[in-house]
Amino acid sequence: MKFSEGMAAVEAVLFASGEPIELEKLAAACEIEPETALRLVERLNDRYDEQKSAFTIGKLGESFQMMTRPEFSRYIKTALENKRQTPLTPAAMEVLAIVAYNQPVTRGFIDTVRGVDSSGVVKSLTDRGLLEEHGRLKDVPGRPIAYRTTDAFLRCFGFSSLEDMPKIPDSTEQIDLEEYEEMSGEFDESDGGE
């Protein structure tokens, strides 16, 4: 297969799939080796950049997906006459963070961390495709459903994998309660003295 033909095949498969496709599956569909498929994806992205194309091929974990660049989203929304999606609530962001950093987790775990019932938020995030069911826990009574984030979560937040997420500060980077109370007391005293 010629290089240009391979590039066209990779582009066609990615375009037609519409969903993320694993490198191995992409290579098999195009009848090439995975290393070759990876080089072709890189070359396609280079070409899209050179041409200032509206397209790019995003990496999502071990999968690839053809996407439009974010700067063209308003035109797409207008053309498709989609209503503007409501932004995520603070509760939804909190649930996403809990799941993303601890996945897979049960709704009970989420409720415990948040201190409130999260069933409505979990359902909303599942309906929006940002969370998905990840089987049931066998070692827990009642075998509750476990949840994890999706590729749509990665796309929405601009991550290619969960490793790209910001790291949670460890205990040495955080102040303890006594330090906080001392700092708060200092601020209260200085505010009251003026």
Mean pLDDT of the chain: 85
> Structure pTM?
0.53
Query: Is pLDDT above 90 for 80?
Result: no
What mean pLDDT comes out for the span 23-52?
Answer: 95
Helices assigned H by DSSP within 3-158: 3-17, 23-30, 34-50, 73-80, 90-102, 107-114, 119-127, 151-157
Residue range 85-194, CATH number? 1.10.10.10
pLDDT tens, position by position, 105-142: 999 999 999 999 999 999 999 998 999 999 887 787 88
**Cα Rg for the chain, rounded, in angstroms?**
23
3-state secondary structure of 147: strand
59: tokens are 């990496």
Q: Where in the chain is the domain with CATH 1.10.10.10?
A: 3-73, 85-194
Neighbours of 194 (CB within 10 A): 4
- Give the model's confidence band at 50: pLDDT under 50 very low, under 70 low, under 90 confident, else very high: very high
Report d(CA 9, CA 101) in Å as an integer: 37
Q: Which two tokens stand for residue 9?
A: 């095949």
User: Is residue 156 pLDDT above 60, yes or no?
Assistant: yes
Mean pLDDT, rounded, for 33-61: 94
CATH fold group of domain 3-73 = Arc Repressor Mutant, subunit A (1.10.10)
Q: Read off the DSSP letter of residue 163.
A: G
Residue 40: its pLDDT value, please? Answer: 95
Q: Looking at the predicted structure, is the pLDDT value of residue 11 above 70? A: yes
- Determine the Cα–Cα distance for residues 148 and 106; give it in Å rounded to an integer: 9
Q: Give the per-residue pLDDT at 33.
A: 94
What would the two tokens of residue 102 be? Answer: 């601890």
What pLDDT does 185 receive?
59
The residue-averaged pLDDT of 35-39 equals 94
**φ, ψ of residue 68 in degrees (nearest 5):** -95, 150
